[in-house]
Structure 1
Amino acid sequence: MDWMEDIEVVLFDLDGTLYQDKTFYKRYLELLFGQGEHGGRLNEFLADMDALLEGRHTSGIGDWYHPGSDTWTRGTDPASVYRDWLGEEKVVSPHSQPVEIASIYAGDAWSLCGIFAAKYGVKAEQRQQAFQQVRKEMLQGASSFERHHGLYEAIGNLNRLRKRILLTNSPEPSGREFITALACMELFDDIVYGAEKPVGMEHYMSALLANEGLRPEQILSIGDHAWNDLYPVRKLGGRTVWVSPYPSSEPQQWDVRLSTLDELAALLVDLQNTKPIKRVV
């Protein structure tokens, strides 16, 4: 990939990019639905979640969920056909959906959990409490969450680039606590918390282009949530790497499509090796 020679800045995501965990959503849904009004349906929700992630559902990663009409559409085409959870077509006027109920892009397992929460009316405070609890349990070893030392070594060795930057939508101090526990904070030249992606990603990249005198193709964004991490960068002409273990209906073709962190570590080693050694005069 000749374009890697031009890369000067790499933008990293946190969740799903610096670590992968394929089981956390079970605990998250348990905290949301393990008791109360929907407590008896937890196994049903878990089965639906598995089907969505594994490509056995009529919808899944890469699709949009519309809480106002409880329907799904595929891709970013506003003329897309609306379908219910069983895949049946529905006639839905976009103007009939409440403006305050934003559509949700099914970009990763976290956002699918958000879709379940929206569908069944879980309040924002309860969602946040569940999120914090799952994060805490990850770091205590209560899930399949693992630190990927090979990836961190590859990031640390990217010393021929101008900058390595981490942008996460997680707010401080919880984001800082999690990154500190990963023992990877020192790998980055800058860490942006509460990045408000996708809009924040576009703003941040625009600032990089202006302040660093970069061309768009010199910036590479790596992430698992295409709408947040990749679409804004692609829009401005940057390079993109999508890392996701799940099948997807996503229509865009990214510069690189990866499934595992082993593959990402190998790509970063290749990136380092394509860059000429900077000589000090």
Structure 2
Amino acid sequence: MSIPSGALQPALVLDFDGTVCIGSGPLWVYAQAVCELLPPERASTLHGALEDYLAGRSPHSSYGDGYALVADLGSRFLSPECSGACYRRSREWLGDHPDEVAPPEGLASLLDELDGRVRRLLVTNSPQPSAEQVLDHLGLGSRFDDVLGSARKPSGFPPILTTLQGRCPGWACMSVGDFWSNDIEPALAQGWMTGWLNPVGLDPRPSHLSAQTFQQMRDGLLEWAENPERFSTGHALPEVDAMPLPPRTDND
């Protein structure tokens, strides 16, 4: 990571899958790789649950993201080596099929507007080379100031946040992602501002910004970048009763 720990420029940290990279293809490849190693009945249950999740149907909509669902219903019954191999298979597929994903509307122009004003950072559990390959294909590679892969969120996220924050106050740092337990909860714990993308309408959880699409959140992110301190005073963290999530995953 090239960002110095003493940096004072505001930091915007974006997740990769489901935030910058939109499309369910890699997720289905991960699920299929897991299903191939499961008994047929359990594989069928996993497949149906993932379909329900992506359609926003209960009872599976409480999962933090589709990767967490696959991990909880499938890969947790496998050895760590097999589970990791299944996830890497989805990363390899994504690198070979970058046309199967797309950036969200409004992201490229936002990153352009923030150039020179905010550190534009991407932190992902995906291996850095494959993430950078996809970013380049999507025309986003040059729009990020730094990319950090294999982050092992959520457990590995706090020390990364500390390094990126440097001497900045928490309100000058913003974490945006679609998996509340991975992208939002660790940032809140360190006093950061947060933007939760909630595309399938999960039950409310605390976040300074929350929207179903990136385009809906875009104006809020620009407001934060314009004056982070003023944003923090005008966007008090809502108090909500969060539904417990299944076990968190270091896959993203």
Structure 1 length-normalised TM: 0.66
Q: CA deviation at 1:155?
A: 1.2
Q: CA deviation at 1:226?
A: 1.2
Counterpart code for 1:236: Q
Alpha-carbon distance in 1 for matches of 2:19, 2:83: 25
Q: CA deviation at 1:269?
A: 4.2
In structure 2, the partner of 1:100 is: none
Counterpart code for 1:19: C
Alpha-carbon distance in 2 for matches of 1:265, 1:130: 32
Q: Which runs of 4+ in 1 moved over 4 A?
A: 39-44, 269-275
Q: CA deviation at 1:24?
A: 4.3
Give deviations 1:120-150, integer Å, cap 9, x for gaps.
43722541343134313541x3x4x223463
Q: CA deviation at 1:271?
A: 4.3
SS of corresponding position for 2:147: strand
Query: Which runs of structure 2 are paired with 1:1-281 in the superposition (5 Å)?
Result: 8-22=10-24, 24-33=26-35, 38=39, 44-61=45-62, 106-121=63-78, 123-136=82-95, 138-139=97-98, 141=99, 143=100, 145-148=101-104, 150-159=106-115, 161-209=117-165, 211=166, 213-249=167-203, 252-272=205-225
- Identity %, equivalent residues: 20
Change (3 A) 1:206 1:37: closer
Q: 112-121 vs 225-234, which deviates more?
A: 112-121
Counterpart code for 2:128: E
SS of corresponding position for 2:114: coil
Mind listing any 5+ residue stretches in structure 1 that lack a counterpart?
A: 1-6, 62-105, 276-281
Mind listing any 5+ residue stretches in structure 2 that lack a counterpart?
A: 1-8, 229-252
- Checking the alignment, whether the CA contact within 8 Å between 1:159 and 1:272 is kept in structure 2 is no
- Checking the alignment, whether the CA contact within 8 Å between 1:222 and 1:242 is kept in structure 2 is yes
Give deviations 1:79-110, integer Å, cap 9, x for gaps.
xxxxxxxxxxxxxxxxxxxxxxxxxxx32112
Counterpart code for 1:206: T
SS of corresponding position for 1:173: helix
More helix by share: 2
- Checking the alignment, whether the CA contact within 8 Å between 1:160 and 1:272 is kept in structure 2 is no
Give deviations 1:180-207, integer Å, cap 9, x for gaps.
2222121122222222222332112223
SS of corresponding position for 2:106: helix
Larger Rg: 1
Change (3 A) 1:9 1:187: same
- Checking the alignment, whether the CA contact within 8 Å between 2:49 and 2:60 is kept in structure 1 is no
Alpha-carbon distance in 2 for matches of 1:137, 1:40: 30
Alpha-carbon distance in 2 for matches of 1:245, 1:149: 14
Q: CA RMSD in A?
A: 2.9
Q: 154-163 vs 236-245, which deviates more?
A: 154-163
Counterpart code for 1:130: R
Alpha-carbon distance in 2 for matches of 1:159, 1:119: 41
Change (3 A) 1:204 1:44: closer
Counterpart code for 1:15: D
In structure 2, the partner of 1:92 is: none
Change (3 A) 1:124 1:151: same
Alpha-carbon distance in 2 for matches of 1:37, 1:12: 33
